[in-house]
């Protein structure tokens, strides 16, 4: 295969820096043709009747993987260094890719081939990984419409193509609405209360445009400090209104996500019913740990009942503060973060700004690497690699004996042309070839932190440190796999409501005194985090945890209720209905939160946002194994327990179901006690 086109070079790391929009069409022409040839070969094997792993499954591996990897590079670049030219060619190719995979999923001959494998005598001798691949394939063919009559297959394919287009447009509308907003302020006095390092960032942002004063945007490193620290209530309200009306009817019509939401919902329900499900909510759970929407909603509402009293206490405290300290007649949404920060400082005698001075980026990363080396006996080695932006770094991972593990890219800072939020994705998966060669896995993590300025390192709020650990937990899940079959190695094949276990698990170490000194180095003095300040942080750990829990449950219940309703209710009305049920005060009438809820309308979390809470039960209970060992006198960073977690959960990928992985690690099924204890809701 020609490597003049960087998208067609699979010999090493992706050549991100060389990829241009004009490379996309020729690469996909070649890769789609190769994939279609592989499909025809597999069909001929079915016709011959000689259906075995080596004749039927293995031969198509390279073509399918290369298509997925190349398209993954294009999709990734569109999300982190988007340009009009790249977006145009990306959007133009979405139907081609969608149609190929839809037709593949509906291929009756391939479906028959996998069913034949499942019923064959050869199947009993397969490895666990290969058995799971065949079982998943049979399931996924059904879920792709392989059993539908031709007319319904065609309709299903049309729906799949349209959904791919609509969900992409949804995400792009949110990105554009976020990028296009800017507020310029001339006088520093209007930004009273905002931390000095944030002000310096605002000033630098204005200077890059040749302007004086300060530039404020809706990206988190800009928006959140205004909400937390700005004394000006009018400024907080102005930013809040701009943020919660993104991609709605209050902006340009071509960026209004409202009609897209209704069409996405309608098409999802229609596709689910074609497959024999009553709703999309039911279809979503066909590949998850949870069995039914009613089970999920029962789980969420049980947690909501437990969290509500704590949330009401938080609310009463904030309302009293607003009235007595600030003279506000009524607590508004743009007051919440500001007052919460004031109460935190008053109750616990520290501020987020004080804490941030200790979490310098180089020390946080070095401390994380040290932690992972202690837990899992692996090391990170920074290397030069082709990257998509100068800020991106690449690290090689190896076991302590020097044997290769994989690699990871880190893209940590917010910028224009980059989708908001934080996520992990795979670049390639682990695979062992017939000749014994092993393709090591590669992952990437993307965050939107504030970058350091004036030659100083970035300072991370503790919440950003937690976010980094979370995404690195996902990456380790992909990188530490020992499964040799690509389809179930790393994060591949893992149930969606279990995939957050390794990420949420890692967050716990951000709260351990044995770990925090190695993560901290004061920007001026160089000192590690002092124990008295840590004790204050720990005392405040569950500050307003009831409110945070109820907010996450609101998102989750909204998501599942929406995807259970036929026809769809007005999403703004549904959001308000759920808020009233949970006791959450209603926001202003102009609030259009659903119009930017990319997780469920553009990401993989549709009828699956509950996974964060579902997996939090698993992750808290998994971490309790370390706490139990610590209670017996062992260190919390326990290599013995870490080795078992690595071997029974992280190494196993999707070859074994998530519950079996958990039971193998803990020796029992998961229990909710640790989650309630960790979040302060156990009383």
135 is annotated as an active-site residue: no
DSSP one-letter string for 236-251? HHHHHHHHHTTTSTTS
Of the candidates 598, 645, 653, 586, which has an alpha carbon nearest to the alpha carbon of residue 619? 645
Q: Which two tokens stand for residue 366?
A: 């070095």
Mean pLDDT of 306-330: 96
Catalytic residue among 471, 495, 648, 655: 471
Confidence grade of residue 219 (pLDDT, cut at 50, 70, 90): very high
Bridge partners (DSSP) of residue 438 are: 432
Confidence grade of residue 2 (pLDDT, cut at 50, 70, 90): low
| % of residues, the chain, pLDDT over 90 | 96
Return the residue matching tokens 């792009």: 172
The CA-CA-CA angle for residues 609, 615, 619, to 5°, reads 150
DSSP one-letter string for 250-269? TS-GGG--HHHHHHHHHHHH
Return the residue matching tokens 């808020």: 579
Confidence grade of residue 567 (pLDDT, cut at 50, 70, 90): confident
Confidence grade of residue 681 (pLDDT, cut at 50, 70, 90): confident
* 615 CB burial (10 A radius; 0-12, 13-18, 19+): buried
Strand order in 393-399's β-sheet? 378-383, 393-399, 404-413, 442-449, 423-428
Exposure string of 400-423, with b = 16+ CB inside 10 Å and e = fewer, is eeeeebbbbbbbbbbeebbbbebe
Q: What is the pTM of this model?
A: 0.94
Q: Which two tokens stand for residue 582?
A: 């949970």
- Cβ contacts of 324 within 8 Å, gap of 6 or more: none
Return the residue matching tokens 């469920």: 600
Bridge partners (DSSP) of residue 431 are: 439
The count of C-alpha atoms lying within 13 angstroms of the C-alpha of 527, restricted to the half-sphere facing its C-beta, is 6
* pLDDT averaged over every residue in the chain: 96
- Give tens-digit pLDDT for 441-457: 999 999 999 999 988 99
Bridge partners (DSSP) of residue 426 are: 443
Q: In this structure, are residues 296 and 665 in contact, taking their beta carbons and an 8 Å threshold?
A: no
Q: Which two tokens stand for residue 290?
A: 């949870």
Measured between alpha carbons, how far is 523 from 509 in angstroms, rounded to an integer?
A: 22
Residue 376: what pLDDT? 97
- Cβ contacts of 349 within 8 Å, gap of 6 or more: 536
Residue 403, pLDDT above cutoff 70 = yes
Mean pLDDT of 347-361: 94
Confidence grade of residue 682 (pLDDT, cut at 50, 70, 90): confident
Return the residue matching tokens 């309703």: 565
3-class secondary structure per residue, 185-228: ECCHHHHCCCCHHHHHHHHHHHHCCCCCCEEECCCHHHHHHHHH
Residue 3: what pLDDT? 75
Residue 491, pLDDT above cutoff 80 = yes
- Give tens-digit pLDDT for 36-92: 999 999 999 999 999 999 999 999 999 999 999 999 999 999 999 999 999 999 999
Confidence grade of residue 434 (pLDDT, cut at 50, 70, 90): confident
Residue 470, pLDDT above cutoff 60 = yes
Torsion over CA of 107, 108, 113 and 118, rounded to 10 degrees? 100
Residue 566: what pLDDT? 86
Residue 243: what pLDDT? 98
- Give tens-digit pLDDT for 358-370: 999 999 999 999 9
Measured between alpha carbons, how far is 395 from 372 in angstroms, rounded to an integer?
A: 14
- Give tens-digit pLDDT for 588-643: 999 999 999 999 999 899 999 999 999 999 999 999 999 999 999 999 999 999 99
Residue 1: what pLDDT? 54
- Give tens-digit pLDDT for 176-192: 999 999 999 999 999 99
Residue 569: what pLDDT? 72
């Amino acid at each position: 295969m020609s490597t003049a086109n960087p998208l067609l070079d699979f010999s090493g790391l992706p050549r991100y820096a060389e990829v241009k929009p004009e490379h996309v069409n020729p690469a996909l022409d070649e890769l789609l043709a190769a994939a279609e040839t592989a499909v025809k070969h597999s069909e001929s094997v079915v016709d011959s009747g000689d259906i075995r792993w080596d004749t039927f499954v293995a031969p198509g591996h390279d073509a399918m993987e290369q298509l997925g990897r190349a398209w993954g590079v294009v999709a990734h670049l569109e999300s982190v260094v988007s340009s009009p030219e790249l977006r145009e060619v990306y959007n133009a190719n979405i139907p081609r890719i969608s149609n190929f995979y839809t037709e593949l999923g509906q291929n009756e001959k391939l479906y028959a081939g996998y069913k034949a494998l499942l019923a064959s005598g050869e199947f009993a001798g397969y490895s666990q990984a290969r058995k799971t691949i065949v079982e998943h394939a049979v399931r996924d063919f059904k879920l792709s419409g392989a059993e539908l009559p031709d007319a319904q297959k065609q309709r299903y394919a049309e729906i799949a193509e349209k959904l791919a287009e609509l969900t992409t447009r949804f995400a792009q509308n949110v990105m554009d609405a976020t990028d296009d907003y800017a507020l310029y302020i001339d006088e520093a006095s209007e930004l009273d209360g905002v931390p000095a390092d944030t002000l310096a960032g605002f000033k630098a942002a204005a200077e890059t445009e040749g302007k004086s004063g300060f530039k404020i945007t809706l990206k988190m490193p800009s928006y959140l400090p205004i909400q937390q620290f700005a004394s000006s209530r009018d400024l907080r309200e102005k930013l809040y209104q701009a943020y919660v009306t993104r991609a709605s009817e209050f902006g340009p019509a071509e960026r209004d996500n409202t009609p897209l939401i209704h069409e996405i919902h309608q098409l999802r329900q229609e596709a689910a019913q074609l497959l024999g499900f009553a709703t999309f909510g039911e279809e979503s759970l066909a590949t998850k740990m949870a069995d039914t929407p009613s089970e999920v909603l029962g789980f969420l509402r049980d947690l909501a009942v437990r969290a509500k009293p704590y949330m009401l206490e938080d609310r009463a405290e904030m309302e009293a503060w607003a009235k007595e300290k600030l003279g506000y007649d009524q607590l508004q949404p743009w007051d919440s973060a500001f007052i919460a920060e004031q109460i935190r400082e008053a109750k616990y005698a520290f501020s987020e700004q004080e804490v941030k001075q200790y979490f310098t980026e180089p020390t946080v990363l070095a401390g994380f690497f040290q932690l992972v080396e202690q837990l899992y006996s692996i090391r990170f080695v920074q290397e030069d690699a082709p990257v998509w932006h100068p800020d991106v770094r690449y690290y090689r991972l190896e076991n302590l004996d020097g044997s290769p593990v994989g690699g990871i890219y880190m893209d940590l800072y917010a910028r224009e042309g980059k989708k908001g939020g934080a996520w992990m994705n795979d670049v390639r998966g682990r695979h062992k070839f017939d000749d014994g060669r092993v393709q090591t896995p590669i992952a990437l993590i993307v965050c939107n932190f504030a970058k350091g300025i004036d030659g100083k390192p970035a300072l991370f709020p503790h919440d950003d440190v937690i976010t980094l650990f979370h995404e690195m937990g996902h990456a380790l899940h992909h990188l530490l796999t020992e499964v040799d079959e690509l389809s179930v190695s790393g994060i591949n094949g893992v149930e969606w409501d279990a995939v957050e276990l390794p990420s949420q698990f890692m967050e716990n170490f951000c709260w351990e005194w044995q770990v925090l000194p190695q993560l901290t180095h004061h920007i001026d003095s160089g000192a590690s985090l002092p124990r008295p300040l840590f004790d204050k942080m720990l005392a405040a750990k569950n500050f307003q945890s009831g409110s945070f829990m109820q907010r996450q449950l609101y998102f989750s219940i909204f998501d599942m209720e929406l995807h259970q309703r036929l026809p769809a209710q007005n999403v703004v009305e549904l959001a308000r209905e759920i808020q009233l049920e949970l006791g959450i005060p209603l926001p202003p009438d102009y609030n259009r939160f659903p119009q930017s809820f990319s997780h469920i309308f553009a990401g993989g979390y549709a009828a699956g946002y509950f996974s964060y809470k579902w997996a939090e039960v698993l992750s808290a209970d998994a971490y309790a194994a370390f706490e139990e060992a610590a209670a017996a006198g062992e260190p919390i960073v326990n290599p013995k327990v870490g080795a078992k977690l690595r071997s029974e959960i992280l190494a196993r990928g999707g070859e074994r179901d998530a519950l079996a992985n958990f039971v193998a690690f803990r020796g029992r099924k998961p229990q909710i006690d640790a989650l309630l204890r960790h979040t302060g809701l156990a009383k």
